[in-house]
Amino acid sequence: MKRPNTDDYRRLFIEDLPLMDVRAPVEFNKGAFPQSVNIPLLDDEQRAAVGTRYKEQGQDAAIELGWQLATPEIKAQRQRDWLAHASQHPTGYLYCFRGGLRSRLSQQLLREAGLDYPLVTGGYKALRRFLIDALEANSQTAPLVLVSGRTGSGKTLLLPKLPRTLDLEAMANHRGSAFGRQLAPQPTQIDFENRLSIGLLKAMHQSASAPLFVEDEGKLIGRVSMPICFKTRMENSPLAVLETPMDERVEIALADYVTEAFPQYLAHFPDSRGDAEQAFRKQILDNLSRIRKRLGGEKYQFLSTQFEQALTRFFATGVADDFRPGIELLLTEYYDPMYDFQKGLRKGREIFRGDKAAYIEWAASLETFPS
């Protein structure tokens, strides 16, 4: 049976229904949705030409140009790509920017190929508006509990062991600290906001009262910024603090940023270990350089030399022991003072403090949001 077009945006995101984005790549790359795939009606140049014709001569002239650009070869290729996607995702929908001309043309081409495939009414613009409004509304009442603790305490490792969570760093593809940049690029600001809104929408749909654990973050996670409405909610939410001894913090940081990070570079440069080593060395030393002023010249120079030597030994032998003194120095004299300063601004919000085992047990017993 023919499925109707939809404006049930909530269902689209709650159920992760597949979305086929027929906008041009340049539009898709600025912002899209986690479950969407870009199979454009027009490429970037064609879109620009049709847009210019629309502004200068109106819709009919723009449609005429669009059909001129759709040569038999291009038309056949579009139909093949769309049919392949539709056959793999029979419950999905297609959309363009406003759910208008390009969506209808795509539907027409699909019908000519023998398939009725529904569209999202209002297109990307309506979906984006829905997520912005949902983020604003859900941020007002989200039962957040902040997973707090010093850098290297293992907050990210703790999250999967807690009952209900939103992993903000995974959404931002960044570990949150000066050394947290990942090999893969971060999402655009729009994509990050969309991911956050969808994650919060699903959590609130599941339960509006059960505690939702999120890692305590600042205004920025790498280069993406926390939406003001959600950050405001975080700043008024209770804190549960994870306590971890210094020796364990050093080991966690060493694994996060060295021993478990370098294999990603080897996988990214499978044909050249030298390129992987060069890129990883640059990553470590560039991150250190970014906090040079905060460290001061003497500490920066010591750490730069120490990490250079540690990298050389690590690449030659696989032994990462030489990183430990520098990591401990960063934790005690860079990260901890910042944490202590912030701690002084958060008096009265702490509802729990304990080690990993105690934290997991306490979180499991917390059935309702603490008042």
The pLDDT tens digits for 274-298 are 999 999 999 999 999 998 998 888 9
Q: Is residue 2 part of a domain?
A: no
Q: Is residue 296 part of a domain?
A: yes
Model pTM?
A: 0.90
Helix intervals (H) in 113-188: 123-141, 155-158, 168-172
Residues 116 and 148 in one domain: no
Q: What pLDDT, on the 0 to 100 scale, is given for residue 176?
A: 63
The number of distinct structural domains making up the chain is: 2
Tell me the sheet residues that pair with 140.
Answer: none
Residues 165, 212: contact at Cβ < 8 Å?
yes
Residues 126 and 147 in one domain: no
From 12, 96, 146, 159, the catalytic residue: 96
Residues 116 and 161 in one domain: no
| 229 tagged catalytic | no
Which H or E element spans position 8? none
Q: Are strands 224-225 and 220-221 parallel, antiparallel or unpaired?
A: antiparallel
Residues 203 and 260 in one domain: yes
Provide the CATH number for the domain around residue 260: 3.40.50
How far from 325 is each of 261, 303, 354, CA to CA, in Å? 19, 9, 26
Q: Is residue 136 part of a domain?
A: no
Which H or E element spans position 146? strand 144-148
Provide the CATH number for the domain around residue 31: 3.40.250.10
Q: What pLDDT, on the 0 to 100 scale, is given for residue 370?
A: 66
Nearest residue to 178 (alpha-carbon basis) of 236, 256, 238 = 256
| Domain stops at, among 130, 164, 189 | 130
**What pLDDT tens digit does each residue of the chain (371 aa) get?**
689 999 999 999 999 999 999 999 999 999 999 999 999 988 888 878 877 888 888 877 877 777 777 777 888 888 999 999 999 999 999 999 887 778 888 898 899 899 999 999 999 999 999 999 999 999 999 999 999 999 999 999 999 999 999 999 999 988 766 566 777 889 999 999 999 999 999 999 999 999 999 999 989 998 999 999 999 999 999 999 999 999 999 999 999 999 999 999 999 999 999 999 999 999 999 999 998 998 888 999 999 999 999 999 999 999 999 999 999 999 999 999 988 888 777 777 999 999 999 999 999 998 776 65
Residues 40 and 94 in one domain: yes
Q: What pLDDT, on the 0 to 100 scale, is given for residue 344?
A: 74
Residues 102 and 229 in one domain: no
**Residue-range definition of the domain harbouring residue 91:** 9-130
Radius of gyration of the chain (CA): 25
Q: What pLDDT, on the 0 to 100 scale, is given for residue 22?
A: 94
SS3 350: strand
Which positions ≥6 away from 296 have C-beta within 8 Å? none
Residues 346 and 222 in one domain: yes
Residues 187, 181: contact at Cβ < 8 Å?
no
Q: Is residue 370 part of a domain?
A: no
